[in-house]
Amino acid sequence: MDLYEYQARELFQQHGIPVPDAETVRTAREARAAAERLGGRAVIKAQVKTGGRGKAGGVKPAADPAAAELTARQILTMDIKGHRVHQVMVARPVAIEAECYVSYALDRAAGHFLAIASAEGGMDIEEVAATRPEAVARIPVDPGQGVTADKARDIAAAAGLPPATAPVLQRLWQVLTAEDALLVEVNPLVRTDDGDILALDGKITLDDNARFRQSRWGDDTDTHDDPLEAAAAGKGIGYLRLDGEVGIIGNGAGLVMSTLDVVAGCGARPANFLDIGGGASATVMADALSLVLADPKVRSVLVNVFGGITACDAVADGIVTALDTVRLTKPLVVRLDGNNAVRGRAILAERAHPLVQQATTMDGAARQAADLANDAAAV
Amino acid sequence: MAIHLTKDSKVLVQGMTGAEGMKHTRRMLAAGTDVVGGVNPRKAGRSVDFDDRTVPVFGTVREAVDTTGADVTVVFVPPQFTGAAVIEAADAGIGLAVVITEGVPVHDAVAFTAYAKARGTRIIGPNCPGLISPGQSNAGIIPADIAPQPGRIGLVSKSGTLTYQLMHELRDIGFSSAVGIGGDPVIGTSHIDCLAAFEADPDTELIVLIGEIGGDAEERAATYVSEQISKPVIAYIAGFTAPEGRTMGHAGAIVSGSTGTAQAKRAALEAAGVTVGSTPTETARLVRSLLAQ
């Protein structure tokens, strides 16, 4: 789960990392009041979970509270790379003397975290890493040791950061471990004219697997702008809406991704990704089918299940249940293989719904579903 | 021969007395696995009757190892206890720990993989279906009846269901071993580890490598193949139509920017001389035609 900037700021603050004074608000009027409390001048920052908001015009200075209101009103109507802006941060401006970049990120291949630091902050760090790799220090952190005061000084020295940043590097490691984060990033970490070190902007990605021991996280604050994705999340189904015409349901993320690819290879576009998971029940299957059929762009549906742990007869029962409750208006292609496939196929054959057809292979099923969607488009 | 798991492997099940542990211990036994014990501190001293075998329950891994000579453990315990279970297995000198559990926090995986490595314990997983050496032993949840006969293909995969799909398509040829390494960001055994083991295994003639979007494990495997592997390798990659920057089910399957995309992985593998199938079925066909030569 990615956090908003204002949530990252709160966690930094809780762990003793200095941050600029700021308030986060939902309306332009509140932005004006916040700017007044902060002394008049302010920076208005869109709260969205995507990069490049500065370039998109989502971060703007305001000279006084009236300007803050005007700017906030404008930013609160923005859509940045598909993310609607619901909140803005109103922050006290800071006189910057130097900017740097620091983060802890997972090195998957090595199986541990890396400290990544650069004296060239404030811009796209990937750009810096690509063009001037020597300007970015990448230092492994031993999982048994963590970031001690000595280690923090080593990281700062290796990247050419001011020595005064070392305590921040150590506390940032505390954020990573105590909060079960997969990524903590401060960009930029600045030194002000007064010599203070401040985390001006930050990104945190939390590990959803650690939710059981991080009770204060509460629910995912992500608002699903798509109503079907919101409905799927409510039922605990892994569903992502795409913009094609072939609805896709399968078991296991790998097989579902593969099904999307095979359908695309047949000249049709997948309408969604939907994984019913391992050992899915008839109920889950019925919910999944209702969800996919609720997408008006869907012209055909492909169910591709290889039963390992999942029993194909349960999947077939789920399809039959759904047929009784949802009026099927689009053709459905079903491919069942593996565990209890013979029984599953027999259940569907017995139901003999005119819009349901069975396929014996994955490629054949994808071809049929793609052709049905394309035929429907041609009508 | 097979890799990492043979008929001589003595297998423990941590979490055997739970619902999943019971179900899969029964299946593992039916596949010929020598399951020598379960571990559950609250049920120590008891035993569990399966169809034609009684399996004792021990209080600790150490006790189970001392009594039975177990060298493999399959971990089914819930995520909040997985780290402790793996560390206990490593401390008891277990050689291979297969961690089936899904939902293990990444910080725990970082800690226990480092701990196990330092003590010479190989971890497979977490969040994986385990591994099977057909006709010999099955450690995990891969259904043995998909491809019951031993054969000449070695398979390594991030994805469980794609493993099943390919095993099904190539069941007449058969597998020396099939390893589901798991799709989590931090895993104990990589594609490269399995490639090296298959290269050294005299029973394996050809290697099937299945990958998916996220991370750069496949790109690294490609480099390794070009430098170290003499046996033919056929690959399949899932996730060409995955939208950028969105998670598709697996914690590991996150695409951001151009690295970790299916296109980048296929290009790296092809540059290393690996043939990449465009669908699972075409991948199976490529394997067939290569073995027929």
Q: What is the CATH number of the domain that holds B119?
A: 3.40.50.720
B220/A126 CB distance under 8 A: no
Q: Do B153 and B272 fall within a single domain?
A: yes
Q: Is residue B203 domain-resident?
A: yes
Test mutation, A309, A339, A340, chain B, max B CBs within 10 A: A309
- The CATH number for B185's domain is 3.40.50.261
List of domains in chain A:
21-91 (3.30.1490.20), 96-211 (3.30.470.20), 226-378 (3.40.50.261)
Q: Is residue B3 domain-resident?
A: no
Confidence of residue A227 (pLDDT cuts 50, 70, 90): confident
Most confident of A149-158, A279-288, B210-219: A149-158
Residue A376: the pLDDT is 83
Chain B hits for A361, Cβ within 8 Å: 281
Chain B residue with minimal CA distance to A275? B249
Query: CA–CA separation, B255 vs B260, rounded Å?
Result: 6
Share of chain B above pLDDT 90, in %: 88
Query: CA–CA separation, B19 vs A179, rounded Å?
Result: 31
Residue A171 three-state SS? helix
Residue B7, Ramachandran bin (φ over 0: left; ψ between -120 and 50: alpha; else beta): alpha
Query: Angle, nearest 10°, between helix axes A28-37 and A65-75?
Result: 140
Q: Do B151 and B286 fall within a single domain?
A: yes
Query: CA–CA separation, B14 vs A358, rounded Å?
Result: 41
Query: CA–CA separation, A3 vs B182, rounded Å?
Result: 26
B160/A273 CB distance under 8 A: no
**CB contact, 8 Å: A42 with chain B?**
no
Name the residue facing B110 among A112, A126, A361 (closest C-beta). A112
Q: Do B70 and B186 fall within a single domain?
A: no
Query: CA–CA separation, B292 vs B274, rounded Å?
Result: 18
Is residue B254's pLDDT more than 50?
no
Chain B hits for A180, Cβ within 8 Å: 105-107
Q: Is residue B1 domain-resident?
A: no
Q: Do B116 and B187 fall within a single domain?
A: no
Q: Is residue B176 domain-resident?
A: yes
The DSSP code sequence of A41-78 is -EEEEE--SSS-TTTTT-EEEESSHHHHHHHHHHHTT-
* Among B209, B210, B268, CA closest to B233: B209
Query: CA–CA separation, A258 vs B253, rounded Å?
Result: 13
Q: Do B70 and B183 fall within a single domain?
A: no
Provide the domain count of chain B.
2
Give yes or no: B168 in active site.
Answer: no
Length of chain A: 379
Structure tokens at A28: 């332009």
Q: Do B175 and B54 fall within a single domain?
A: no
The strand pairing partners of B11, in sequence order, are B35, B72
Structure tokens at A218: 């509460």
Q: Read off the pLDDT of residues A297-311 as tens digits, 9 standing for 90 and up.
A: 999 999 999 988 788
B236 min Cα distance to partner chain A (Å): 9
Catalytic residue among A23, A69, A185, A245: A185
- Of B124, B158, B181, the one marking the end of a domain is B124
Residue A219: the pLDDT is 59
B165/A306 CB distance under 8 A: yes
State the pTM of this model.
0.92
Q: Is residue B131 domain-resident?
A: no
Q: Do B178 and B285 fall within a single domain?
A: yes
Report the binding-site residues of A.
Answer: 45, 52-54, 94, 99, 187, 201, 251, 308-310
Cis peptide before B134 (omega within 30 of 0): no
Q: Do B155 and B259 fall within a single domain?
A: yes
Q: Read off the pLDDT of residues B166-214 as tens digits, 9 standing for 90 and up.
A: 999 999 999 999 999 998 989 999 999 999 999 999 999 999 999 998 8
Q: Do B120 and B176 fall within a single domain?
A: no
Q: What is the mean pLDDT of chain A?
A: 92
Residues 222-261 of A with CB under 8 A from B: 238, 240, 242, 250-258, 260-261
B241/A252 CB distance under 8 A: no
Domain that holds residue B234: 147-292
Residue B251: the pLDDT is 29
Q: Is residue B4 domain-resident?
A: no
Residue A90 three-state SS? strand
The percent of chain B in helix, strand and coil, each rounded to the nearest 5, is 35, 25, 40
Confidence of residue B51 (pLDDT cuts 50, 70, 90): confident
Is residue A258's pLDDT more than 90?
yes
**CB contact, 8 Å: A140 with chain B?**
no
